Amino acid sequence: MKGQDKKILFPIGDSFQVIESSGEKKIECLKCGYVYGAADKDPKANSRMMERPVTFTSSLNGYGMADRFVIREFYCPQCGLLIAANTQLKEDPPFMEMSLSI
């Protein structure tokens, strides 16, 4: 992110860092600087999602209830960094799991 007032506050894992810019705390991609949005919102909301069948990770999953589940992978829209992956019921909405209160 460009900006003279950008201050890096702290990293989160291998995918994100929290920054402060123009008085607002935001989450950005640790690899490329793409700004996902406000720090109190899950970065998945502004990522790119791809769905895969559960048999993608193991053919053994085909012996279970493979038709009921899906793997959802979330990527940085600018550099393609994988930021999360969840296995969920197909009918459930994408799982939002991160919200910082700083």
Q: Judged by CB, which is closer to Zn ion: 6, or 31? A: 31
The beta strands (E) that lie in the chain are given as 7-12, 16-21, 24-29, 35-38, 48-52, 69-75, 82-89
> Is position 27 an interface residue for Zn ion (rule: CB under 5 A)?
no
CB of 54 to Zn ion, least distance (A): 26
> Which of positions 68-87 make contact with Zn ion (CB under 5 A)?
76, 78-79, 81
Given the rule CB under 5 A, which residues bind Zn ion?
29, 31-32, 34, 76, 78-79, 81
